[in-house]
Amino acid sequence: MVPIILTYLWACSTDAEHPVFEDHAPALLVTLDRTPAARLGAYGYPRAHTPALDALAGQGTLWLRAYTTSVESQPAITSVLTGRVPGTHGVHGDAEFALKAEVSTIASYLRDAGYRTEAVTGTMLTSVESGLMHGFDSHTYVKPERFIWQRWGQPANSEDLVDAALQRLQAAQTRTFLWVHLADGNPSVSLTLPEDRDPQTRSLDARLSHQDQQLERLLDAWSKHAPDGITAVVGIQGHDDSGNAPLGSKADLQDNWVRVPLILAGPGVESGAQSTDVVSTIDFVPTLLALTGVGAPGELQGKDLRNGGSQAAWTEAMFPQLGLGLAPLRAWTDDSGRYVEADRGVFFPFSGIVNVDIQPGGGDLNAMSSRLQDMAQSFQPTRRSPTTLDLNHIRQLDALGYLWGDAHSAQGQADPRDHIDAMTAADQGLRFLSQGRTKPARDQAAILQRRLGPTAIGERIRTRSEIEANRPKDAIEIQHRNFTGHPTKTNAMILAGLYSNIEDWKNAEQWFDQALGGLDLHSSDEPYWPAVEGAVRSAAYQGSEQRAGTVIQAFTHTFPDAPTLQLLSAEAHLSQDHPQQALELARNAQQAMPRSAWAWFGLGRALRDTGQTAEAIEAMRHAIELGPRQATFRRGLANLYEETGDLENALRLLGPLLPTFTEDKVLIQQYDRLRTTSAAEGRVRRPGTGYRSTTKPKGQP
């Protein structure tokens, strides 16, 4: 269940039923991920510890039957921000999709009306690459707390996000729209809760209580900043992470996944009332635009909540199709109940006024199916919007288990409800991967292979497991098969990155070119910069610097400020022994691309060549943090450590490369030389922790 809570105040309105601001009011939107409405006190959960949300809900009208458009986070968030269903905004899944620039968001409409629009988020699914920043003047990205190698772990926790939001409020203008997305990455918070509940339930309740405490800080600060402003709190997903929402209920699109609480509160809204209108999350945008006096354009699919909203809500789940090659799940919900269809249709009537029954009911299924098809056709254009990612973004999303699908996958015929065991294996395999548990992840991939044969999810789990086990050549073999079945740009980029990691620059260049799909040096359209960067660099490492010069010269006139061109230019200057020119370009590139491992490495090289050794080491360490499997980074930093006499760290960096580079005589000789020198100086190996010195510091007995 997905909570949506809206509070608003207005001034000088002459329309008592539908008040409108004469002067555009400031607005706050808070979206909540993994926040089941059924776990909030305002919705009847007796064990809840969510006083901030409960107090907010008690101020206004409660909508009991509101529904999300998708059971995946990114499509659901996109619908809240655009007022459109996935079939229209084009985002059908997590990570593999991006909102196209021509699709307006709530921020776009408000900015056009004179608002200053700002966003504060801390999850990869809301990064710039998602397209969700369309219309925002600024975006504060809060780095997740766990940032170790490739595994970003959980999203940033709500305390850090609210801290960042409060800083933005201090500088906010009078007419401001601020979006804060809370996807709390700190479920193991220490809170005093009764012990009369199972551990999983207790963990979820503790996380929601912690989130509520942080939300209270934000709402309190907002009420002081904008006492006559609008506040919106929108939950994104109805399922929880406690293990209490099985995939069987997800496959039936049951209430615990799709039902959305919604509250409006403020002067002019009846206090303590409840509405049984069937509404959707797409109704949020037109309602907010009407409340601010901006006015909702006709292109929106949502309807003003005060007029009854959509009255029939669309919900979909595309993960069976995109990841497993099965049929997608689609549903509509109205006053009678919910019709869910994949290969076959099932109708679930309401059990009482609020809850849809989990047991199927009767009815004319053919007529219900026709209605579903009519709704789908009305959502034109139904094109998908696959994204293009850089290698670093791919690594981070892959480590979290998000890159499991194929955005171009055709609709399958098999009903996912007949393959719950396979979906469970896929879900658990991705979960194990995100935790770094490669062996159980491989076991789940094997189950998936037996049930369904090769699938996008199964092959990604197997590829990722081999990467984590430091078997890059095995990962490449599996990824080749995955590309054959799913020839996407993302899969081509993954292959290019794997070849780049082991410094097979010829094959890396080939796969970067595959992802690029051709390069027109005379086009005024922006190219796929990550693939351009990789292809040019791969050619340069093969000794062909001509390609770099040609690309840089051709594009500099059209895109003079492109960070990718600045980075490639810096690398070219370094190869020509012009370190000072390279340093300025490398700094600019790194500042523009702070998550780029190659930008950090380029900066490190330039700092080294200008004699700034300590700063060079720090920059190269950042590069390895972002790209730990890249052999070039390890060699570069190891050489720098050797130059400074830090042999222990040099050995630590080179050791993991030996199983892959068994025929690299230069590497083997360097490693043996370092080990011999280290032993001669009195350093010995301590298993599992690297090296330690056996010599005694001067001045000690």
What is the pLDDT at residue 345? Answer: 94
Q: Where are the alpha helices (DSSP H) in 113-157?
A: none
The full 3-state SS of 60-104, as one line of letters, equals: EEEEEEEECCECCHHHHHHHHHHCCCHHHHCCCCCCCECCCCCCC
The percent of residues in the chain predicted with pLDDT above 70, rounded, is 82
What share of the chain in percent tops pLDDT 90?
40
Residue 267 reports pLDDT greater than 70:
no
Distance CA 614, CA 606 (A): 12
* Mean of per-residue pLDDT scores for the chain: 82
Give pLDDT, residue 689: 33
User: How far is the C-alpha of 140 from the C-alpha of 136, rounded, in Å?
Assistant: 11
- 71, 98, 85, 88: which is closest to 385 by C-alpha? 98
329: domain CATH number is: 3.40.720.10
pLDDT of residue 693: 34
Residue with tokens 């305002």: 42
Confidence band for 699, pLDDT divided at 50, 70 and 90: very low
Q: Chain-centre distance of CA 255, in angstroms?
A: 24
Q: Give the domain range for residue 14.
A: 4-377
64 or 403, higher pLDDT: 64
Query: What's the confidence (pLDDT) of residue 604?
Result: 97
Residue 240: count of CB within 10 angstroms of its CB: 23
Asked whether residue 525 carries a pLDDT value surpassing 80, the answer given is no
Confidence class for position 51, pLDDT limits 50, 70, 90? very high
CA angle 627, 631, 632 (to 5 degrees): 90
Evaluate if residue 21 carries a pLDDT over 60.
Answer: no
Residues 6+ apart with CB under 8 A from 638: 649, 650, 651, 653, 654, 670
Q: Is residue 665 part of a domain?
A: no
pLDDT for 209 beyond 50: yes
User: Which 3 state secondary structure label does DSSP give 286?
Assistant: helix
Could you tell me if residue 603 is inside a domain?
A: no
Q: Residue range 294-323: average pLDDT? A: 91
Is 80 exceeded by the pLDDT of residue 685? Answer: no
- pLDDT of amino acid 133: 92
Whole-angstrom distance, CA of residue 89 vs CA of residue 105: 10
Is the model's pLDDT at 637 over the cut of 50? yes
Residue 259: pLDDT band by 50, 70, 90 thresholds?
Answer: confident
Task: Tell me, yes or no, whether 495 lies in a domain.
Answer: no
Mean pLDDT throughout 632-648? 94
- Model pLDDT for residues 558-606, shown as the tens digit of each residue: 888 889 999 999 999 999 999 999 999 999 999 988 878 999 999 999 9
The more confidently predicted of residues 394 and 442 is 442
Strand-strand pairing, 230-235 and 27-32: parallel
Band the pLDDT of 633: cuts 50, 70, 90.
Answer: very high
User: Does residue 669 belong to any structural domain of this protein?
Assistant: no
Residue 401 has what pLDDT? Answer: 54
Alpha helices in 576-612 (DSSP H): 579-592, 597-609
Assess whether pLDDT exceeds 70 at residue 200.
Answer: no
Instruction: Work out the average pLDDT over 296-306.
Output: 90
Q: Give the SS3 label for residue 353.
A: coil
pLDDT confidence of residue 20: 45
| Helical segments of 328-419, H only | 365-377, 391-399
Average pLDDT estimate for 18-22: 44
What pLDDT is stored for residue 400 in this prediction? 54
Which amino acid makes up residue 216?
E
pTM as predicted? 0.81
In a domain? residue 679: no
What 421-427 contacts at long range (C-beta under 8 Å, 24+ apart), as own/partner pairs, is: 421/447, 421/451, 422/324, 422/447, 422/448, 422/451, 422/452, 423/247, 423/251, 423/320, 423/324, 424/246, 424/247, 425/451, 426/323, 426/324, 426/455, 426/457, 426/458, 426/461, 427/247
Residue 281 located in a structural domain: yes
pLDDT given at position 585: 95
Contacts for 128 with CB less than 8 Å, ≥ 6 apart: 139
pLDDT value of position 390: 61
Residue 557 in any domain: the answer is no
pLDDT class of 198 with cuts at 50, 70, 90: low
Q: What is the pLDDT of residue 18?
A: 45
The pLDDT score that the predictor gives to residue 268 is 54
pLDDT at position 686 = 38
What is the band of 235 on the pLDDT scale with cuts at 50, 70, 90? Answer: confident
pLDDT tens readout for residues 480-504: 998 888 888 888 888 999 999 999 9
Which parts of 188-283 fold into alpha helices (H)? Answer: 199-225, 247-251, 255-258
User: What's the start-to-end Cα distance of the chain, in Å?
Assistant: 67
CA distance 575 to 622: 22
Per-residue model confidence as pLDDT tens digits over 339-382: 999 999 999 999 888 888 888 988 999 999 999 999 988 886 54
Nearest residue to 482 (alpha-carbon basis) of 473, 490, 474, 491: 491
Number of domains in the chain: 1
In a domain, 464, yes or no: no
The pLDDT-based confidence of 66 (bands split at 50, 70, 90) is: confident
| DSSP three-state, residue 343 | coil
